[in-house]
Amino acid sequence: MTLRIGNASGFYGDRFDAMREMLTGGELDVLTGDYLAELTMLILGRDRLKDPGAGYARTFLRQLEECLGLAQERGVRIVANAGGLNPAGLADSVRQLAERLGLPVRVAHVEGDDLTSAHPGSLAAHAYLGGFGIAACLRAGADVVVTGRVTDAALVTGPAAAHFGWAPTDYDRLAGAVVAGHVLECGAQATGGNYAFFGERPVRDLLHPGFPLAEIHEDGSAVITKHPGTGGYVDIGTVTAQLLYETSGARYAGPDVTARLDSVRLSQDGPDRVRIDGVRGEAPPPTLKVGVNRLGGFRNEVTFVLTGLDIEAKAELVRAQLTDALAKSPPAEVKWELVRTDRGDADSEELASALLRLVVRDPDQAAVGRALSGAAIELALASYPGFHVLAPPGKGAPYGVFEATYVPQGDVPHVAVLPDGERLPVAPPPDTAVLDAVPEPPLPEALPPGPRTRAPLGRVAGARSGDKGGDANVGVWVRGDDAWRWLVHELTVERFRELIPEAADLPVTRHVLPHLRALNFVVEGILGAGVAAQHRFDPQAKALGEWLRSRHLDIPEALL
């Protein structure tokens, strides 16, 4: 007996038509949507400040207006975390929509994740719940289940546990569903989107990637695929890339189970079909992660364009002028970054230009607003030759700070609100285990010596990177045993720090996943206080892996 679970959203703002495409493109039992991220919770928190009835993903409602009838006709149940900060409010809105459309839809929701009152000064503080509240709603006959902050994988583990009758101690089965859920959660990233080796396929195959689905079996194994005839592609590489996204060590912890990523085995099961099996699970940790979002102050920026000769001297001049102009009341934090995009003897003005970026932060909006704007614009006729900016600085905008804390599982009131209004408490897991690091496994024999060529790492390795609060992860994988024997000995923590100088003074941990021929590096603190703080040029570390792939190493010629 197979349960077919599809995904129609990887983030708040993802392809609007994906819900309709998934409902009309082929057979499905459950359709999920992941609308939440650390930054989204901050955005929804600001929405709620303006309107206490807000706080959920309104896009989801507009999609349902088009698609709720389709789902009913096809017998597809919908599970989404679009409830954000207000799952009860979204559930009420879905009921009103169904009534207006004349559809007999049973709606349930999951709540209890909101711990904002326990974190004074926070805009939103929410625990990451597991899938058993969703399972309770589905077992009670819900057609639509909306949640607040659950783990992304819970959108899959909940329906699977309900369908197959899994118990909270069916760790291997639950872990298999967690892995499948992690592959589905970011939508088209599993079907060729954001993929390191995209150049191996014709552009026409990537114009409109289909969204992924998982065929889940009672033993927890799964096949990742997509609807027939849709764009993109599913192979071991695309699934490996997504498995490495925003993970850390061999133990991938969640509220229901800890999945052992070092046990995952992938195999091609036909065109656009990848089988996942062998996944082992362990008892979950005794605590739940809580994402706490606070307003950190105000932020402003201006980018100066430096063209032609004497780039460094021009940058030095404008730095000195701005520093002097702001000396009476300097912002609390000032960060300059010179990006040398210029080339000598360029045949276009753009190619002759570098960018000098100034970012300022302060608790007081005035310190980053009018003062900076005035100081920058007043230099228009009094600074370096060719002075201009990409855009004048504005008033300054609020920025957020993300922090992860942890609370005992039993301290969070996980509640399933069933279609008839009954409030059903969801018990914490019966067993837990403290999360310990997995020792590095025995390494394969190194590749024998031979001729080498200086070349980019990306000639032989793929990568996918992302953020978790202020930390970033970079997963690196190869597609052959010889390449793995080279990579696992070559790409040490020390070599990683050499290739990514930003990480030179930061804690870096390497995790080895031999079944995936993959290494996963976690770099602590590289993103400061998280994406909303806009600490660096690439605030979510989305392209950190691609930077790593562009760095040059001495690579065995046999691999090139």
Residue 439 lies in a domain: no
385 plus 410 within the same structural domain: no
The pLDDT, as a whole number, for residue 148 is 97
The pLDDT, as a whole number, for residue 538 is 83
144 plus 248 within the same structural domain: yes
Rounded to two decimals, what is the model's pTM?
0.93
Using the Cα atoms of residue 295, residue 468, residue 88 and residue 105 in order, give the sign of their dihedral: positive
The pLDDT, as a whole number, for residue 469 is 85
106 plus 212 within the same structural domain: yes
Residue 434 lies in a domain: no
Strands 222-226, 274-277: pairing kind? antiparallel
79 plus 180 within the same structural domain: yes
251 plus 320 within the same structural domain: no
192 plus 303 within the same structural domain: no
Domain ranges, residue 465: 452-559
The two structure tokens encoding residue 234: 């599913």
> How would you list the strands of the sheet with 265-268, edge to edge?
265-268, 274-277, 222-226, 212-217, 2-7, 30-33, 77-80, 144-147, 107-111, 415-417, 423-425
367 plus 480 within the same structural domain: no
266 plus 129 within the same structural domain: yes
Q: Structural domain tally of the chain?
A: 3
Residue 369 lies in a domain: yes
Each residue of 500-525: pLDDT tens digit?
Answer: 999 999 999 999 999 999 999 999 99
Decide: 476 and 493 in contact? Cβ < 8 Å.
Answer: no
161 plus 275 within the same structural domain: yes
The two structure tokens encoding residue 522: 């976690």
The pLDDT, as a whole number, for residue 49 is 85
The pLDDT, as a whole number, for residue 399 is 85
The pLDDT, as a whole number, for residue 366 is 86
65 plus 135 within the same structural domain: yes
Q: Which residues of the chain have pLDDT under 70?
A: 531-535
382 plus 327 within the same structural domain: yes
Nearest to 403 by CA among 35, 37, 38: 38
